[in-house]
Structure 1
Amino acid sequence: MREVNENTSATADQRATAEAIERGGAGLTVSDLLARVAGVGEAPARSAEAPAGSDGVAGTAEAFVGSRGVAGSAEALVGARGVARSAEAPAGSAGTPPTGEQPERPDVAAPSTPDHPVAPSVPSPARQHDLDQVAAAIATVAGRYVPAGQLAPDADFFDAGGTSVSAVELVSALEDELGVAVDLDEVFADARPVALARHRLSGTAAPIAVPETPVPAALPAVVRPAPVASPSDSTARPEDLSQILADLALADRLPFVASPEPLPPSRILLTGATGFLGSHMLLDLLRHSDAHVYCLVRAADEEAAVDRLGEALKSYALPWSSEVRRRVTVLPGDIRRPHLGLSDEVWNTLTHELDSVVSVAAAVDFLRGYQSLRTSNVLGALTLAELAATGRPKPLHHISSIAVFNEVGIPSVGEDDPLAHIDRLIAGYDQTKWAAEVALRRARDHGLIVTAMRPGGIGGHTRTGAYNAQDLSSGLISAFGRFRTVPAFRYLNAAPVDWVSRVAVAVVCEPDAWGFDYNLTGVPNTLDDVVRDMAFGGMHVRVQDWDEWRVDALARLEADPIPELTFLSRVLQSPTALKLCEATLKGPAAVADRTDALVEALGLPPAVRYDARAQLKTFERLAGDGLARLPHKDDQPYLWFTETTRGGVGPVDGSPDTPCSMSLTLSIASMHQLVTDRRVDVRGEVTCPALHPEPLTVARGDIWIRPEEGIPQRHGLRHQLLRYRLELTDADGGRWWLEGHKYARARRDVWRQTRALTVELGREGEPVSLAGEVVVPADTYVRDQIDGIKVDPRLTGQEKRAAKLTWLAWFGMEMGRGLVGPFARAAADLLDLRRTQTPTEQHR
């Protein structure tokens, strides 16, 4: 009985507080207003007509949404992988044109069902006034952190130019100035001031009703999604599922369309040309087709759009020449706006002149929620579908993402496999890519030719090393190289940007390839592949458990902050992003049978594993930008040993020799250095009294092994084994040089040939002044250069032995080839001589 009385009392208190709120908050500060609602434990009953994310859509959703509500069960949406066809066909949506007609019923909410009853609730004017006050106050503070200096209450903070760093500052400012305690994850989930105010006033994640954005007279009114009851194992927010269900129905408002002509395109609209993949696709479209490309670029005017596109191409080491400019028309616009932000005249012209639409643009942020990303990633894709379906029939080529499979525990990732359960996708980015692809599948039912291409991780260019600095995979790779640790994973479904771009453009230009789904993921990398590649590059790494790696990486980034990796720190601290990483690291290998068959049929470069050489070019760019560190001479070497030589040098005029000796340390920074450069780094001293009474220090030194690739000298009887090039400084600041050569000759003294070095010395900028020969003493050769090899102490004992054996085997092979060469050529000369002799001469 006592428990019942306490519950009754609590309910009465909440009712009293709610009634006080509804009586109005005029004249109160935001802090006072929020203090009045602090004790509200439950939000008032809300209408299904106003869920989270439904307000503030500036016409784009209205251009597609139907007027008869959303039929089909929510369970069909969230209870099966992919989307069941029975749940994809809302009632009353049979192809009503997206614009130009008024619906018969201007504003009808989603139908009530036994599982999801719709309460005809209308917010009181007083409560609405409270919400408007809080939203306006939050918008005022948030405006200080965006480039424009102001933010509308229904505008997204990130779309307006806010960053992850400024989001942290915003959260702090709201609490300090307004007393509004907002969690950072709430900002990333839905960064509109009105949504933040709604969350704060409701005291729960459930939204309260807000007034709808006025709908233009020519557009149908907005249908508000019904709330979805998610299963107990769902990881998605219920309000996001509600919005996704409504967004899928937008495709049903597209008109029916005839099939386009199966011809290679000549006039293409490309979005996302200023992005990493889009910029490479633009150049590939120009290189591999005769098409003229219209690039939609977000900018205030055409001049700014042209400048932005040019700067983007140059930043990725791509040309922005007069020939490129001649074949490109830059259109200032925005995929987040109705008709792409274009004038009616330009829009109508494009609908009749274009013969292909390529959708690459997307907001890529693994911290933002569905509500924050849907305008760019879902509504923008549907606006492009409207363009493709209007006027002249055009295929739509949509760059989706392998993230549509990012469900923890998904068994397979094939091109025709069912997508993930939408309620088990964790990140807002994954949810938006899923929703866009599924919505466009519905558009196929209207006759629209839609091609979905799903890249995985997009790595750096294999030749230029250009990479996307803000990409999560690039951030992780730079952390691998900087910290020399890698988290355990099953597969990395990644491919270099040049291969992804080339295959995507081939699909666009080949009519027989239209209308299918492709996984542009290349050949999956295993953990062993990555560890081996990095070790090959001199970056021996330690494998850690994911949690251990995350904690270690965060500690390192906190101790040594790197501005370019701030976003990675945010990711590693976000519970949502961590689950996303877990799904990525533990997922299966992507399968791309259709893509492989197309590549083979068109004679394109086949998919290959994103190997060490490609990664190292990217590492070099990362290192140049301070994001990663490649091995270099100032680091502790990967492997090193000492070399001592003694001999004499004298003037080139033939005067007697004077003593000369060298005490050097030879080292390599990586095995990759050997294989690609065949070069060894040198440090140490040269003692030569004829130059200076004090030893000379090696300021810079290199040794090249078989530098001439076996090209013979002196008619093939002498081959160059080693070449030394040392830059020397004396105690008085003077600068000198030393050039040394080790030769193989067709003579019996092979042991001495491997130890003797012909040297020349001179003052910097002057010709040789001293020359002679120095030799490694026989009793120190084995002791120093074989037994005395030292290896990076961070390697295990087994790895140290393997490193020594690898070096000795490689060096021995190279020296052996060099030593055998002169003898083989001498033998060949002898045989050639015998063939040219007469029988009489042979018997003399």
Structure 2
Amino acid sequence: EFLGRTDTQTKIRGYRIELGEIETTLQNHPAIANAVVIADQSRPGDPRLIAYLITRAEAISREDLNTHLLASLPHYMLPATYVFLDKLPLTAHGKVDRQALPSPDEQQRRSAPYEAPQTKVEREVAQAFGESLGIERVGRNDDFFELGGNSLLIARVGAILAGLYGVDLPLPLLFTQPTVEGVAGTIELFWKGGYQGLQDSRDPATMLSEIQLDPDIKPDGLPMADIMDPSGVFLTGATGYLGIFILEQILEQTSADVHCLVRASSPENAIDRLKRTAETFKVDWDEKFRTRVKPVVGDLSEPRFGLSEKAFTDLAGKIDSIYHNAALVNFVWPYSVLKGPNVYGTVEVLRLACTTKVKIVHFVSTIDVLVGSHMPRPFLEDPLPQLPPHVPFSYPQTKWISEKIVELAKERGVPTTIFRPSIMMGHTETGACHQTDYILVGLRGFLELGILPEYDEVLNCTTVDYASKTFVHITMQEKSIGEIFHLWNVDAIPTMATYDWVRSYGYEFEVVPFSEAVERARRVSPGHPIYPLLPVLFLYESGEAGLPMRWDDHLKLDPRLECAHTLSAQEGTDITAPDIDEKWMHDSLSFLIERGQLKPPSAIKLLAGSAEGQRR
């Protein structure tokens, strides 16, 4: 039976959600005449949001609806499924009869024509898709993500297929082609050649075809903008964790107006999104923000960000420098899903840099282009080789390709800088953390299991205020043009050194081997906070996440070599990396508890006591 909750509030994966707020936002879309949103509880432990829509004459896609919602709502308030109806069922009193709403029909979710699975493996993969998504009939050409798949559901499909075939593969590899036919083909290739056979099929040379920059993106004949004293700056990713602090530092260190690209339904909604991000991470939205932040409503993955040619050209005339920080960061989704915003978005940023006048592009990459491609240490601040030693998994693959595209632009005469940050966690004054960072998700989930895993790797993270201040400072130095900089802590510590600080905060736990921690995580229900991290844990188990950065190996090299350009740029300033110590950890934990993203020690103890009582 398919029944939704009739109250207006629900809780999904730890987030409290106001259903009426989603309905109102949907109804503000010009194509939507009416909307009803429910929390489907038909699968125990795995509630999901379903939106029932009455549309006007014009058609609207799932992607358009998600973009509209993300303009004013957080990601966890996106419906898993949209159902389009001719009319809503009503009670005798004229109110929506929520219990009479139909179960989502798979054909309403499908963009490709239905074609039946052809082989036994395809049929079983289709069944796994359907079981996870709550769809009765799935075709061989159906894309898992177009049908409503997300990081939680892809983990469930992976578990089903691992049980069926013993195919315990990293999900970005298993879902390289996220259709039924594509996943079945990967399984069959695994049967023929094993894991090594799959690895051998991933020729690094295939990445070369992705490194392309339109021939018309070039600075030839254009005047140079005032890149060292900009009056206008273009910033992407300002609604993210690092992005809001980059925005703060640009306002602090320059006098420029900052034009922020934001997915929104209007400039007012864009400003609201930026304000909410600032509030979330305790950034003071003061006079500088109110007068100098200029919203640009657009989408990174669209040509010209979805702007008209005139609007794009007008924007280009106002900009002297570009800070490209935005990316879709996901360690589970395949390259095909991440390519649009991460690779095409970089191309469109470079197009803006070569329109009207030549602008400098400051590109934010990631340490994972080195770790994920199995580059040997020390990690030097050098351009990437033509081909990686190992094809990185999906997210760092998009960043590798984007770096190479930025290099192409540099060769054509576009001034650039590239920054490779490592993990950023905490703020020296507020403790502000990115709540969905995989390390913190793991901490939250494992603590509820009463364990933390043995993990003999380097923790070279730094605080977000240090990273953003250093980043913007370097971009304002002329000698930085054309260089690459690493943003991480040269005074790294062993990851397990932080466990004593977690204990001194009041948490009780047992340290267990990593393999045992993963095995315990496998046994949790989908509603457990560790469940969404399972694909990342499998990624690390397989070695696909990259070569281990062992503490013993770290002690054999001079980490200052890995940040030589950054350290040189800091000379003569008061910018120094803060200590990663007990206070840093306690401030971070306090922030997470305050934001409701981590249970306090007392609640964890009650949880452990309840579990012990149930076992007895």
TM-score (norm 2): 0.65
1:275 Cα offset (Å): 0.8
Q: Determine helix, strand or coil for the equivalent of 1:500.
A: helix
Distance, in Å, in 2 between the alignment partners of 1:155 and 1:314 is: 40
1:593 corresponds to which of 564, 575, 578: 564
1:428 Cα offset (Å): 1.2
Aligned length, in residue pairs: 470
Distance, in Å, in 2 between the alignment partners of 1:354 and 1:168 is: 43
Deviations 1:490-533 (A, max 9, x none): 41121111111111121233333232111100234222743554
Q: Determine helix, strand or coil for the equivalent of 1:459.
A: coil
Matches for 1:706-721 after TM superposition, within 5 Å: none
Matches for 1:124-523 after TM superposition, within 5 Å: 133=115, 162-168=149-155, 188-189=172-173, 195-198=179-182, 200=184, 238=201, 241=204, 243-250=206-213, 254-257=217-220, 260-321=225-286, 323-406=288-371, 407-408=373-374, 410-416=376-382, 422-478=388-444, 483=450, 485-523=452-490
Q: Which residue of 2 aligns with 1:530?
A: 498
Matches for 1:91-110 after TM superposition, within 5 Å: none
Q: Determine helix, strand or coil for the equivalent of 1:462.
A: coil
Deviations 1:299-345 (A, max 9, x none): 34434333322222222222345652321111221111111111111
8 Å Cα contact 1:154/1:194 also seen in 2: no
**Comparing both chains, which one has the higher relative contact order based on Cα–Cα distances under 8 Å and sequence gaps of 6 or more?**
2
Q: Determine helix, strand or coil for the equivalent of 2:211.
A: helix
2:531 corresponds to which of 533, 555, 566: 566
Distance, in Å, in 2 between the alignment partners of 1:388 and 1:378 is: 16
Matches for 1:48-87 after TM superposition, within 5 Å: none
Deviations 1:654-691 (A, max 9, x none): xxxxxxxxxxxxxxxxxxxxxxxxxxxxxxxxxxxxxx
Distance, in Å, in 2 between the alignment partners of 1:596 and 1:481 is: 36
Classify 1:426/1:532 alpha carbon distance in 2 versus 1 (closer, same or farther; 3 Å).
same
1:204 Cα offset (Å): 5.2
Distance, in Å, in 1 between the alignment partners of 2:139 and 2:406 is: 30
8 Å Cα contact 1:554/1:569 also seen in 2: no
1:351 Cα offset (Å): 2.1
Deviations 1:394-448 (A, max 9, x none): 0000111111111447231122375696251442112211111122112211111
Q: Which residue of 2 aligns with 1:622?
A: 592
Distance, in Å, in 1 between the alignment partners of 2:143 and 2:258 is: 30
Classify 1:565/1:502 alpha carbon distance in 2 versus 1 (closer, same or farther; 3 Å).
farther
1:380 Cα offset (Å): 1.2
Classify 1:485/1:195 alpha carbon distance in 2 versus 1 (closer, same or farther; 3 Å).
closer
1:354 Cα offset (Å): 0.6
8 Å Cα contact 1:479/1:628 also seen in 2: no
8 Å Cα contact 2:250/2:472 also seen in 1: yes
8 Å Cα contact 2:262/2:298 also seen in 1: yes
When Rg is computed on C-alpha atoms for both structures, the one with the higher figure is 1
8 Å Cα contact 2:525/2:531 also seen in 1: no
Distance, in Å, in 1 between the alignment partners of 2:465 and 2:361 is: 22
Counterpart amino acid of residue 619 in structure 1: L
Higher deviation after alignment, 621-630 or 440-449: 621-630
8 Å Cα contact 1:271/1:358 also seen in 2: yes
8 Å Cα contact 2:428/2:463 also seen in 1: yes
8 Å Cα contact 1:265/1:291 also seen in 2: yes
1:478 Cα offset (Å): 3.9
Q: Determine helix, strand or coil for the equivalent of 1:452.
A: strand
1:570 Cα offset (Å): 3.0
1:187 Cα offset (Å): 6.9
8 Å Cα contact 2:177/2:336 also seen in 1: no
Q: Which residue of 1 aligns with 2:11?
A: none
8 Å Cα contact 2:451/2:509 also seen in 1: yes
Q: Unaligned stretches of 5+ in structure 2?
A: 1-111, 118-122, 607-616
Deviations 1:680-703 (A, max 9, x none): xxxxxxxxxxxxxxxxxxxxxxxx
1:368 Cα offset (Å): 2.0
Higher deviation after alignment, 592-601 or 471-480: 471-480
8 Å Cα contact 2:189/2:197 also seen in 1: no
2:577 corresponds to which of 587, 590, 607: 607
Q: Determine helix, strand or coil for the equivalent of 1:485.
A: strand
Classify 1:238/1:597 alpha carbon distance in 2 versus 1 (closer, same or farther; 3 Å).
same
1:551 Cα offset (Å): 2.3
Distance, in Å, in 1 between the alignment partners of 2:187 and 2:515 is: 32
Distance, in Å, in 2 between the alignment partners of 1:634 and 1:240 is: 46
Deviations 1:243-275 (A, max 9, x none): 521121336663244654452222111111111
Distance, in Å, in 1 between the alignment partners of 2:187 and 2:208 is: 25
Distance, in Å, in 1 between the alignment partners of 2:421 and 2:146 is: 24
Q: Which residue of 1 aligns with 2:101?
A: none
8 Å Cα contact 2:176/2:334 also seen in 1: no
8 Å Cα contact 1:284/1:505 also seen in 2: yes
8 Å Cα contact 1:457/1:493 also seen in 2: yes
Distance, in Å, in 2 between the alignment partners of 1:302 and 1:381 is: 23
Distance, in Å, in 1 between the alignment partners of 2:157 and 2:196 is: 33
Classify 1:567/1:251 alpha carbon distance in 2 versus 1 (closer, same or farther; 3 Å).
farther
Q: Determine helix, strand or coil for the equivalent of 1:515.
A: coil
Identical columns (%) = 23
Distance, in Å, in 2 between the alignment partners of 1:436 and 1:287 is: 29
Higher deviation after alignment, 191-200 or 267-276: 191-200
Counterpart amino acid of residue 304 in structure 2: H
